[in-house]
Amino acid sequence: MKGKIFLPLLFAASTALAQDRMTPEILWSLHRVSGEAVSRDGRYVYYSSKTVDWKSEKSTTLHFKVGVEDGVKKEFTTTAGKTITQRYDDTWFAYYDNFVYKSVDSGATWTEIYSSAHDAENVWVSPNGKYLAYSKRVLVKPMMGSDIYSDLPNTTAQVYTDLNDRHWDTWADGKYSHIILVNLKDGSSKDILEDLQFDCPLKPFGGQEDLVWAPDSHGFVYVCKKKVGKDYARSTNTDLYFYDVTTGKTDNWSEGMMGYDTNPVFSKDGRKLAWTSMASDGYEADKTDIIVMEVADRKKKMNLTARWDGTVSGFIWGSGEGRADSRMFFTAPTEGTEQLFEVNVPYNGDAEKAQVKMITKGKWDVTGIVGQAGSKVIVTRCDMNHANEVYAVKTNYGDMICLTHENDKIYAPLLMSKTEMKQIQTADGVTMGEWIIYPPDFDETKKYPTLLYCQGGPQSALSQFYSFRWNFQLMAAQGYIVVAPNRRGMPGWGVKWNEAISKDWGGGPMQDYLAAIDDACKNSYVDKNRLGCVGASYGGYSVFMLAGIHKNRFKSFIAHDGLFDLRSWYGTTEELWFANWDLGGPYWKTPMPESYEKFNPINFVNKWNTPIMIVQGGTDYRVPVEQGLEAFQAARLHDVKAKLLYLPNENHWVMHPQNGIAWQREFFKWLDETLK
């Protein structure tokens, strides 16, 4: 009898105790906040809050507006699940079940304006309301056996004659995302890409931002990479095309610009077009600049950020006093954070007079810009302890006011982790920043197991981001110190530092990692006998490399979707421009790029002697499945303790809620086993 009473009480006590620290289940219960728009008068911000029920794997999204000055929150509906696609001042447009609707009362009531947008993925209505453009997948070149042979409806055959047969997590099926233009007056429609093997929006992540109407409704600019087959797989050269709805003529407005040209936005008066641009074809992590072009004279282009030693994430046109197109606000990584910046737009087209100014500063990431409300810029913000919320930024001083509080109740009982930016010396004498994340209730008189976190990308910022998988708050809550170095190859520390990783994957960056963990071990509270190393993508590659060169520093490794054999990876990955730029070309090139020998993890597997857990997604075509399987097999055949976590329906990420929780449970179970 005593046992039956004691056990439930013990369980209740332990559960109550656990609630003061982040768990996978709490993490997945958080609201995911997205800023959507600012009202025309600047009084309200519209935003959405999405929740995920990890037990049913179903999500619910609610829409709200919040007062910029008073912070009062009100729920509003879009009627039966309609997806809002645009807001032009007080007129809204939405799409649902092949129908396009218009609302002039902030979504309270809707009027049908078009009923045949079958299978539309994105919808764009012209500002004057006379035209509609929408994207849908159109069969252009049959590749599926059932499309090739009408008498074989059950065949699973797929036939390819060129590259670009896969992208991210999907096999090509001969269908391309095309733009359908509709004249709403007479209902006539036209596929502006006709029988071409091109996509708009861009695959795999393009969306509503890849098409923008001119304010005068004369036409629209769309983003497209007009290449096919192996040329597509080797190039990052996207362009901005203007389609004139009256003449049916298409012009390339970014012709001669050889890298990524994306995110076109017209100035309010339509006289200028701005977009983000990279200079080099094939270099997907090149410096991103803001280009401004005069629409009336397209030869007049200004690079506003050319002289600034950083890379732009996203931007909006500014508004307010004076010329409406006189300034822009943008976000960019800087020294382990993501902040809000401002740049003026010189009236005379002299880019030399463009000056960049940082507006915000602090231990957070400004993750996006929603719009401008008077003298305030509305943004979303997170940090390593808090998911996204919406903030108003006073541009004169950089002060930030939190407008939404979707997760306050969930966070209230939780102990937060301390995060600290440290500066250390690398092996070659360069100063490097690194984030240290400490467990809640950290006590420097105790010793803690410590994890070296290896960032992916490889050229992506290691900032105050909040991930629902690689969550530093969750790691620290389980009692781990996390060391997260901003090793070479990361933006936010100057263009030179960002570029330093190319063709040197296993060189300088590995020494940066070792310098970071060695520096951490100088602290008495770091248990040098319980060090782990974890990472995904390039971070997974880093784990595989360090497993062969760490000289017994670590007791445990975890690699997720990591590159294990660069030769087989080159032969199976789908974006060849990435491998060509970062590795120096194919392995059959003469002379062979040194990466395939000097920096190839498979060449160091004979030195593996430390337990390793390997995670692999089954539909990951960026780092295909053989990479994880080869690594697991090599580990076991070398008598190394290993675990394979295979997720057959996941791509390069983990998207399904229950897979995400299983991932986190296995992650910490492995660490518990190997870092005792």
Catalytic residue numbers, as ranges: 537, 620, 652
Helices (H), 421-535: 472-477, 495-499, 508-520
Instruction: Say how far residue 136 (Cα) sits from the centre of its chain.
Output: 23
DSSP 288: P
Q: Are strands 448-454 and 481-485 parallel, antiparallel or unpaired?
A: parallel
Buried b (16+ CB within 10 A) or exposed e, 338-362: bbbbbbebbeeeebeebebeebbee
Cα dihedral 375, 378, 384, 385, rounded to 10, equals: 90
> Cα–Cα distance between 174 and 165 in angstroms, integer?
9
Distances (CA, A) of 29 to 50, 415, 477: 10, 17, 16
Contact by Cβ (8 Å): 451, 534: yes
Q: Are strands 166-167 and 337-344 parallel, antiparallel or unpaired?
A: unpaired
Gyration radius (Cα) of the chain, Å: 26
Burial, 121: exposed, middle or buried (Cβ in 10 Å; 0-12, 13-18, 19+)? middle
Contact by Cβ (8 Å): 283, 305: no
Which among 553, 557, 542 is positioned nearest to 601, based on CA atoms? 542
Contact by Cβ (8 Å): 417, 477: yes
Contact by Cβ (8 Å): 223, 202: yes
DSSP 605: G
Q: Angle 538-549/508-520 helices, nearest 10 degrees?
A: 70
> Cα–Cα distance between 587 and 77 in angstroms, integer?
56
Residue 172, token pair as written in the block: 């090509």
Backbone angles phi, psi at 577, to 5 degrees: -60, -35
> Cα–Cα distance between 627 and 644 in angstroms, integer?
12
Which among 283, 320, 286, 282 is positioned nearest to 303, based on CA atoms? 286
